[in-house]
Amino acid sequence: MKRLFWLGFSICAAALLNSGCGGSSPPPPPPALLITSGTPPQATLRTPYGGGGVGFALTATGGVSPYSWTWAPATGSALPPGLTLAGSMISGTPSTAGTFTVVVTVTDSESPAKHSDGNYTIEVVLAPLTITTASLRNGTVGLRYNPHCRTVFPCRPPLAYGLQMQASGGITPYTWSWAAASGSALPPGFSLSTSGLLDGTPTTIGTYNLLFTVTDAQSPAAQATTNLSLTVVYPPPPAINTAPAPPAGAVNLPYAFTFTASGTVPIVWSETGALPSGLAFGTDGSLTGKPKATGSFPITLVAQDKYGQNSAPQDFTIQVFPHGFAATGSMGTPRQSHTATLLQNGKLLVAGGIDDSGAATATAEIFDPAAGTFTPTSGSMTTSRYAHTATLLSNGKVLLTGGADATGTAIATAELFDPGAGTFTATTGNMTTIRYLHTATLLANGNVLLVGGLDGNGSNIASAEVFDAATGTFTATSGSMSTGRSSHAATLLASGKVLITGGLDSTGLATATAEVFDPATGTFSPPTGNMAATRAYHTATFLPASGKVLVIGGQDATSAPSATGELFDPNAGTFTSTTGVLGTARQRHMATLLTDGTVLVTGGLDINGALQSAELCDPSGGTFSLTGSLTSARYSHTATILTNGRVLVTGGVGSQGAPLATAELYQ
């Protein structure tokens, strides 16, 4: 009985192990590992592989994911050069044409791992040979074809020229040729290189139809053709420049101006309208001569280029005034920010300034009105200086103070020029303060007042000092100005006091403040009111007839040139705007009192550069009117009335931005 029991138990236990009877069954084995990728797409030589260049993805089923993919070079197994297998992706840019069979292996993550191989054939074909240049740019007669930057940025000379024909597909290198199409030919002056560069300088207008052919390097070679047209046109017709405008002339004084235009030279000019008598117009655009009558003379000009194209007519007005400027002898040294001082013998001392090397000079020269020439002084200054002052003393000597030297360093030295000896000697003592862009005013007692300026650190100075002509020494005044200032103006009043106007203050901007220096107390006090406008680099001219001071132009609070003027009344201590304004806003100009009581305003700087125009102010009416123009545009120059009533203008910065050596006389 026991034997039967144990036999039954053993049979039941075996059945449970095999069928799960009475417990859980073991998991089934994973399905077989199979590669399921479809047929790989055809590849194009030198083109990123796969749809949109993303490649061809390998896929598999079965086994245990994740899968890993490999391939190994072997007989009958190779990826096209340029393609790689990374992860499950075949991608890249094929570099060799042909048919390639590659064996790839997928391996699952089971332990032990299962493997499966798959054979894939990838065909790499050539892209069709195609000319991709769709159109040709126009050419211009006389100009080399298609100038363009060698690089996109920055575009700097030298430029590249010509148009490179473009193609794709086939096998490089390409060879290019052309043939006449529809009875046309390559434009005269052009050539097409075998590398496909279309270049040259066209000589004849027209539209030219060209059949371009490109041949690749495969064997047998493939070819592609396209028919393109190239149009050659004339350059734009001339355009007459309206700036600078022709200067105003003066009766019986030499006049010379040449009009300019854009366009292909030679330009031939024609003129209609009544020119001033004495002036002649040339086919080269020059207007020269000596006008014989005053007035305004409207003329119309047309410029024609070498191809016979005319500009649009351009109107101009030539103005001729009773007075104007004529060139005189030039200085031996170009100068700006220099000084010019009328000596007691009627000659003029020109000293220092910045020369054409860009540095301060120690040279000086004498202008002789009788000869109209400049002659160097016997000796040079003791130091180079610019932005200094020069004052004629009662004893006939000239005091030169401060400024900046050849290194641009502000200095405190001073020196005296002796007209008899033609030499310079240092003063007994230096100034009490380094200063440049300051003012110097001869006082009624023969001493000289120095006010403000910039110090060695470039800061505006509020202090002042007096040069004692008897001792040759400098002494600080009892009081200082209420504010530091430079590039201001100082004017001796009939009372013996000195009016200080405007300038740049400690903020570096023009100010409208003013103050009056009293030599009796050595102190400064403000007038009743400020100026009507902010100003620096302006002029302030004493008017003996009224005792007032005419203040003109200058730099305003926005650093722009001003066209306004105003009159200071010493009795009321107030400023009143003039009735009129300057015809041209200007700063760094000069204002000179003429013998008839009017004030001559010359040159200066506006937003476009140096000015050639000049104006007259009638202080009695507070109005401005044009007069004959300077022979040269200039600013930071000098303008000095001579004993014969003429005004000598020297140096300054010209229209090209360089110091001038020229001089001219207003007469």
Residue type, position 337, single letter: S
**What's the pLDDT at 51?**
85
**What's the pLDDT at 101?**
96
Q: Is pLDDT of 25 > 80?
A: no
pLDDT-based confidence at 24, cuts 50/70/90?
Answer: low
Give the ranges where 473-609 is alpha helix by DSSP (H).
none
Q: Is pLDDT of 95 > 50?
A: yes
Q: What is the pLDDT of residues 618-650, one digit of tens each?
A: 999 999 999 999 999 999 999 999 999 999 999
Terminal C-alpha separation, the chain:
159
Other beta carbons within 10 angstroms of residue 258's beta carbon come to: 12
Q: What is the pLDDT of residues 110-137, one digit of tens each?
A: 999 999 999 999 999 999 999 999 999 9
**What's the pLDDT at 132?**
98
Cα separation, 622 vs 254, in Å, equals: 30
pLDDT-based confidence at 16, cuts 50/70/90?
Answer: very low
Q: Is pLDDT of 374 > 60?
A: yes
Q: Is pLDDT of 316 > 50?
A: yes
CB 544 within 8 A of CB 578: no
Select the more confidently predicted residue: 184 or 467: 467
Phi and psi torsions of 288, nearest 5°: -140, 165
List residues bridging with 99 in a β-sheet: 123
pLDDT-based confidence at 181, cuts 50/70/90?
Answer: confident
Q: Which of 104, 100, 101, 84 is nearest to 92 (CA)?
A: 84
Q: Is pLDDT of 9 > 50?
A: no
State the sign of the Cα–Cα–Cα–Cα dihedral 426, 430, 435, 438: negative
CB 136 within 8 A of CB 198: yes
pLDDT-based confidence at 22, cuts 50/70/90?
Answer: very low
Q: Is pLDDT of 87 > 70?
A: yes
Percent of the chain clearing pLDDT 90 (strictly above): 91
**What's the pLDDT at 470?**
96
Q: Is pLDDT of 526 > 50?
A: yes
The 3-state DSSP class for residue 319 equals: strand
Per the listing, tokens 């053993």 go with: 10
The two structure tokens encoding residue 464: 């002042």
What is the distance of C-alpha 78 from the center of its chain?
61
Task: Tell me 10's DSSP state.
Answer: H
Q: Alpha carbon of 430 to those of 63, 377, 443, 630: distances in Å?
A: 103, 23, 19, 38
User: Count of residues for the chain?
Assistant: 667
CB 463 within 8 A of CB 485: no
Query: Which region among 95-99, 420-424, 563-567, 602-606 has the lowest average model confidence (pLDDT)?
Result: 95-99
Other beta carbons within 10 angstroms of residue 579's beta carbon come to: 12
> Residues 81, 82, 84, CA angle at the centre, nearest 5°?
100
**What's the pLDDT at 27?**
74
User: Mean pLDDT over all residues of the chain?
Assistant: 94
Q: Is pLDDT of 573 > 80?
A: yes
The 3-state DSSP class for residue 5 equals: helix
Q: Alpha carbon of 304 to those of 228, 232, 258, 259, 309: distances in Å?
A: 33, 20, 15, 13, 5
Long-range contacts of residues 83-87, Cβ cutoff 8 Å, at least 24 apart: 83/43, 83/49, 83/122, 85/58
Q: Is pLDDT of 419 > 60?
A: yes
Strands (E), 402-444: 414-418, 423-426, 439-442
**What's the pLDDT at 158?**
84
The 3-state DSSP class for residue 534 equals: coil
**Domains in the chain, start-ordered, CATH in brackets?**
34-125 (2.60.40.10), 130-233 (2.60.40.10), 246-321 (2.60.40.10)
- pTM for the complete prediction? 0.80
